[in-house]
Amino acid sequence: MSQQFLSFFLAAALGLVPAALDLQGPRPARAGDEEVYLTPDQAPRVLFPEATSVAKRVVPMTPELRAKMEARIVPTRPSLWEGAIPTYIASAEGRVVGYAVVVNEIGKHRPITFVVGVRPDGKVRGVEIMIYREPKGGEVRMKGFLRQYRGKRVDSPILTGRDITNLSGATLSVRAVNRGTKKALALAQIVYHEAPPAPPAGASASP
């Protein structure tokens, strides 16, 4: 088995790739084109460096939750609906400082895995690319591009040509990040902002 598929299955086991993803679809990028930039443990701490504890919560994508999310992001249509979405609750000194939501969206052929940090007020704290699997379009991980998403809300357009500037040669990847950011904001609003939980007991402490 190639290193490409070993890494792909490892990502699936960690919940970074939808389990139902069709492996018989378009050919994956050549071996060596997949780049892992952040692990699940690193992602929430990059977005919320002030956090003293981080707790993971995997949110099942029930039909009811999906229907609520779709209603809030219409006309945006995600390319993937994961069976479950990993989220992280970041806390500092007994208060929640934000939520990190890991999502997948198809770029040209393969899924882009990225994390969206959402503040307690429902605005984007930041977006970071975790795994990029295509041979082209990786410019979406540039800090200058991702900075555009800061402060966006679920009711923001988050559309190329409106409030997001496109990247030449990475148009499909830009659209994927747009869709995934909307999806993450909708989930965070429904799961966390409408009934914010108290900081979880027993969360993993920062080293």
The 10s digit of each residue's pLDDT in 98-110 is 999 999 999 999 9
Q: How far apart are CA 47 and CA 29, in angstroms?
A: 28
Say what the pLDDT of residue 34 is.
86
Instruction: List the chain residues with pLDDT less than 50.
Output: 1-15, 18-31, 202, 204-207
Q: pTM score, two decimals?
A: 0.81
Domain coordinates of the chain in residue numbers?
3-205
Q: How far apart are CA 43 and CA 185, in angstroms?
A: 16
Say what the pLDDT of residue 20 is.
39
Give the number of other Cβ atoms within 10 Å of residue 82's Cβ. Answer: 24
Summarised one tens digit per residue, pLDDT across range 21-65 is 433 333 333 445 789 999 999 999 999 999 999 999 999 999 999
